[in-house]
Structure 1
Amino acid sequence: MIRYRLDVADAHAHLFRVTLTIAEPAVEQGLSLPVWIPGSYLVREFARHLSQLEARQGTRAVRLVQHDKSSWVAHCEGRGALTVSYSVYAFDTSVRAAYLDASRGFFNGTSVFLRVQGREAEPQQLVLGTLPRGWQVATALPAVGACFEAADFDELVDHPVELGRFWRGSFQAAGVTHEFVVAGALPGFDGERLLADSRRICETQIAFWHGTPGRGSGKPPFQRYLFLLNAVEDGYGGLEHRASTALIANRRDLPRTGMKAASEGYATLLGLISHEYFHTWNVKRLRPAEFARYDYTRENYTELLWFFEGFTSYYDDLLLLRAGLIDVPRYLKLLARSINNVRATPGRAVQSVAQASFDAWVKYYRPDENTVNATVSYYALGSLVGLALDLTLRGEGRGSLDEVMRGLWARSGAAAARAEGRPAVRGAGGGPIDEADIAAVLQEVGGRSYEAELASWVHGSADLPLEPLLEGLGIVWQEETATLAQRLGARVTDAGGQLKLQAVMRGGAAEKAGLAAGDELLALDGWRIRKLDDLAALGAFERPLPLLAARDQRLLELSLPNAQVHGPVALSVDAQAPAEALVRRAGWLANGA
């Protein structure tokens, strides 16, 4: 048994103290802290927050030698238990690391627990030391007496822990207890509304994967589930785990007592809940073959994030619609936003979504002023690949992407059972897959090969044929007037009366004029400009006009060319669509059939 004890050492200094006890250590016992957390594909160097490492066997000090940035070797004598203690600075308010102050604590195991090399497969035990008065504990880790226990290191670090004073409530979905914990909510927060809406999300997704009770297995692959939500002044994000998720959201987006229709902010929060819950199946269990075993010491590369993140992004809002939490016009508005985000990314013609998946470690999580020109979001474009495949299958009358997802779940589960020498269980699934598995199940469902589509849409950089696919299901595609930012070909801020460029799009009017990120636009055609609307008032883009800009305290005399560009897309329902299209549209939007 590997045993960890975590104490709140100094809340005002944001310090946890961790004590690790290893029975019968190796003579040269290796220890290391993960450099990344699964689900967030960036090397984050958590070890930079460790300090005051000490090691002992009984009363004898043990020499602890640092091997590299995140690993150490303890030089032991005999087989007596090794105790290693260290401090962890915890002041990261995100869902990825650890946080501690006088009112709240939170941690992911990857940020605080040294991995005992060679002993990762052994049971791991967590003991929480004395906590500040009135603090509660929330985690999905199984409790055994006064301890929490995990089967191995992977399970230990896949269960975040929330500490402090928080609101908590629960509901049943498919006979399984789901608990919600909310820290930082404003007075007037409607917890019952959040529970009721989350229950509808969970029931819809369990039915998606397993069928409803009595018509399929109906049971999710966990015994209980926990949502951990940190409500803050300004923040948004989530990180999936096998039986829980950590969420962060603007506290003003939480439902308020007396609120009738869901606000835009609350709908966004529900979409986040839907996204992270869907990951319970798609990436935590059904997962890339490269993630069959995590390597916590380095980047773990895969080209399949377009599927695991992108298809999850496709289904998060669609399943809100099917759960009755948003209506069709709102769903189509959200879908159009995704389409417009991709269309506004020149990088989609430079890098395929498979390449973007592989390069997540150096591109997606490290954006700069050229990111929009160099790569594309595997979330956004991946979701549209899912849409294109779904509508193609439905348009051909051969099934749906829903059936593909369930087919992959069953296929991977059967393969995992064979590999482990155990009988497959009906309804059980989840295991490593690769792109060949995706192609095979697509062919099983669709009755033909979809290799051409995968080659073009996933490994190529051509635009997806979304307009005809949507129109085939009775959805009207209408291109609206381009915005000023689109016509300028730049991302712009105009705070404080200064019109500054954040990014310049490849091939746009701003780039052709010679502008660069960081430039300030001062005057057009001899007139001072202070906000983007001034460009329209002065007739920009209708003919070339003289432009005065500033860069690094120097004035630039340029010419802003005219520009004709595509505007944003708006989607709506075609009430006069053919009957066959109406049936397929209803199956897509209403129930997935």
Structure 2
Amino acid sequence: MHKRALFLLTSAALLAPFSNSFASDGPQPLPLPAKPPVAQDTPYPGTIDLHVVATDLDRHILSVSEHVPVPAALSAKGGDMVLLYPSWLPGNHSPTGPITQLGGLVVKVSAKTATWTRDTVDVNAFHIAVPAGAQALDVSFQTLSPITPEIGRVVMTPAIVNVQWNQTALYPAGYYTRDIPFRTSLTLPHGWGYGTALRPDAARKGTQAAGGDEVTFGVVPFNTLVDSPLFAGRYFRRIELTKTGDAPVSLDLVADRPEYLAATDEQIAVHRALVEQAQMLFGSHHYDHYDFLLALTNELGRIGLEHHQSSENSGPTGYFSKWDKTFPARDLLAHEYTHSWNGKFRRPADLWAPDFNTPQRGSLLWVYEGQTQYWGYVLAARAGLMTADQAKDAIAMVAATYDTRAGRTWRPLQDTTNDPVIAQRAALSWRSWQRSEDYYSEGQLVWLDADTLIRSLSGGKRSLDDFARAFFGVDNGSVVTRTYRFEDVVAALNGVQPYDWATFLRQRLDAVSAHAPLDGLARGGYALSYTDEPTPYIKAYEAIRKMRLFDFSIGFSINSKGMLTNVLWGGPSWKVGIAAGESIVAVNRQAYDADDLSDAIEQAKDGKAPISLLVRSGDRFRTVSIDYHGGLRYPHLVRLEGKDDVLGTILAARK
């Protein structure tokens, strides 16, 4: 036998026992338990009664009771009934249902305690042992909402309560949520006002209950209930924004203190203009009524979340009282209102799900959120919530942020649509390198690019406004969601202006690049530039967030306590090992002060000496020298000579 053949046979013989051992002697996985019943488009046989008590403000506890009819087929024989706690929440784009807040679960049948068991794989599913003959389950539990921001978003304060029904309800598995009717009642502290897209049951007027006031709402499907959160407050004001006879829109305000509710006639007028400008843009509405829920607070957790017939929003306490300083926060209402059309009525097909425990996919979030971000700025400017110059300054900051985002050299924009599931909006160590949900604001730049290209190709006769009306403005008055795919977006764009829109979009979504898509600025008549003076927008932005923005010079942002909140990957500070979460103690041997740091950055422009920083990381201190001599740099837009002010036209009010 050939020596090589003999060697191979001998080696195989020696390895055989080990190969067999690896294949058969090790442990094998146990089979997974059966999944909860898959949702079917079948009416649930009965109406679930839900009652929530929201009066325990000191302990931040919501008390919940539910009466759940048992389907006849299950009642006849008894067996396993599965109740689900909502996990995949619309608008969050990820499985963020706060299951950790559920406590004290008790299930009773005819006043006798029944056994429940949590599913070991799907921990949001509860199996109930239903005895034969059982007609209904009486379920009770508490929602143990966060007491401090360190635990989670605070939803109960001494003056405000934010009830999100997905946190206060279990629902039966095996049914589309649109097929499960709920009758809901709520007990609030005595005398409090409230705002919600839900409407009270006309047959059951509000009553005074033990410890508060009770209101009962009309029967709605569970998906509508979850899509209709509630703000209630000790200090409450409702402002009607539409004329009698129109689909009513109101601004429902709650606040930490009553003086924060004092809006002037001029301030109310621009909120009315927002509704008018949106109606002119889309040429339709997809709600019976709409409630802007707005909390002016330092105590309730921050939020901006869309719903079909309402939106949950929070703003600075000086939203009205310091009107000239709060404009960077005023595109929020325009953004969330746009979602009634883009996201709630028209929704990406892979983001629609039959219930709140079926995974969603966000491949088209650059439309859902990116175009909404675009219209948020545009509508805010058209309505007067921001001036055109303020909106241009805001766009300059967006353009600069994404043009200097190092992570765009390895991670395409399309991949960021997975980020809600990957990161679930947790803090990131190196956001500029990791990227986050960049489909929002880089998506905004893509749609500015598309808008200006349509205007250029059509000689100014058509624009993205025409796309908005054609795509989102169909079926006026309908509240039934219509889904779409990438091909539908391309077809609608081609219907407005023929072009190779598929390639246009895929290039901006799938390619990696050192720079952001800024062609829309150039076609709009502007270029991104930098000066040593912050724009009024940046000054107001810094004041609202109590921070200073040095991202485009020394390469970091820093809060009012001297802690670094963001460090740019590859920037001057990154190069000397500075990271987010550390604190600046001293600048050039002087105790840290933000204005002194600004002076030091400017003084270093002579190129002689580096900037010396004393940095604290936990209990450790070190001194670093940053060899940066470029001075302060803040983004703004400059007009391009010989170019029309197309961006100004985009931002101008429609008449």
TM range, smaller chain: 0.7 to 0.9
Counterpart for residue 109 of structure 1: 165
Counterpart for residue 387 of structure 1: 448
Instruction: Report deviation, 1:509.
Output: 2.2
Deviates more, 1:441-450 or 1:361-370: 361-370
- Listed as ranges, the gaps of 5+ residues in structure 2 are 1-46, 205-215, 534-548
C-alpha distance in 2, partners of 1:83/1:41? 31
C-alpha distance in 1, partners of 2:98/2:424? 19
Counterpart for residue 416 of structure 1: none
Change (3 A) 1:520 1:118: closer
Change (3 A) 1:552 1:192: closer
8 Å contact from structure 1 (residues 43, 298) kept in 2: no
C-alpha distance in 2, partners of 1:426/1:175? 11
Counterpart for residue 178 of structure 1: 249
Counterpart for residue 417 of structure 1: none
Deviates more, 1:435-444 or 1:380-389: 435-444
Instruction: Report deviation, 1:86.
Output: 1.4
1:222 aligns with 2:292: no
C-alpha distance in 2, partners of 1:103/1:323? 31
- Give the alignment of 1:80-159 within 5 angstroms: 80-91=135-146, 99-100=155-156, 103-119=159-175, 120-144=177-201, 145-146=203-204, 147-159=216-228
Instruction: Select 1:15's aligned residue among 61, 64, 85.
Output: 61
Instruction: Report deviation, 1:429.
Output: 8.3
Counterpart for residue 571 of structure 1: 637
C-alpha distance in 1, partners of 2:200/2:410? 50
Identity of aligned residues (%): 21
Counterpart for residue 329 of structure 1: 389
Residue correspondences, number? 557
Counterpart for residue 190 of structure 1: 262
1:240 aligns with 2:306: yes
8 Å contact from structure 2 (residues 286, 476) kept in 1: no
Counterpart for residue 354 of structure 1: 414
1:265-291: CA deviation from partner (whole Å, max 9, x where unpaired)? 0x2343111111111111111111112
1:510 aligns with 2:573: yes
Counterpart for residue 588 of structure 1: 650
TM-score by length of 1: 0.83
Instruction: Report deviation, 1:57.
Output: 1.8
8 Å contact from structure 1 (residues 4, 19) kept in 2: yes
- Give the alignment of 1:277-316 within 5 angstroms: 277-293=337-353, 295-297=355-357, 299-316=359-376
Q: Give 2:511's aligned amino acid.
A: G
Change (3 A) 1:295 1:351: farther
TM-score by length of 2: 0.76
Instruction: Select 1:487's aligned residue among 537, 543, 553.
Output: 553
Q: Give 1:241's aligned amino acid.
A: H
- Give the alignment of 1:322-471 within 5 angstroms: 322-363=382-423, 365-376=425-436, 377-397=438-458, 399-409=462-472, 431-462=482-513, 463-466=515-518, 469-471=520-522
1:523-580: CA deviation from partner (whole Å, max 9, x where unpaired)? 78x8557342364366378367495755565565765334659944322556x746xx
Instruction: Report deviation, 1:461.
Output: 2.7
C-alpha distance in 1, partners of 2:158/2:621? 51
Give the aligned CA root-mean-square deviation in angstroms: 3.4
Change (3 A) 1:29 1:48: same
Instruction: Report deviation, 1:121.
Output: 3.9
C-alpha distance in 1, partners of 2:625/2:160? 55
C-alpha distance in 1, partners of 2:275/2:465? 16
Counterpart for residue 216 of structure 1: none
8 Å contact from structure 1 (residues 97, 111) kept in 2: no
C-alpha distance in 2, partners of 1:8/1:555? 47
Deviates more, 1:381-390 or 1:189-198: 189-198
Instruction: Report deviation, 1:348.
Output: 2.8
Counterpart for residue 539 of structure 1: 604
1:415-473: CA deviation from partner (whole Å, max 9, x where unpaired)? xxxxxxxxx7799985111222222222232211123321221222322452x543434
Change (3 A) 1:191 1:469: closer
Larger C-alpha radius of gyration, 1 or 2? 2
Instruction: Report deviation, 1:365.
Output: 0.8
1:387-411: CA deviation from partner (whole Å, max 9, x where unpaired)? 111111112226322222223236x
1:20-59: CA deviation from partner (whole Å, max 9, x where unpaired)? 1122344311112112431123443422122221112223
SS at match of 1:296: coil
Counterpart for residue 109 of structure 2: 57
Counterpart for residue 259 of structure 1: none
- Listed as ranges, the gaps of 5+ residues in structure 1 are 211-218, 257-261, 414-423
Change (3 A) 1:591 1:100: closer
SS at match of 2:331: helix
8 Å contact from structure 2 (residues 409, 512) kept in 1: yes
C-alpha distance in 2, partners of 1:154/1:140? 13
8 Å contact from structure 2 (residues 94, 360) kept in 1: no
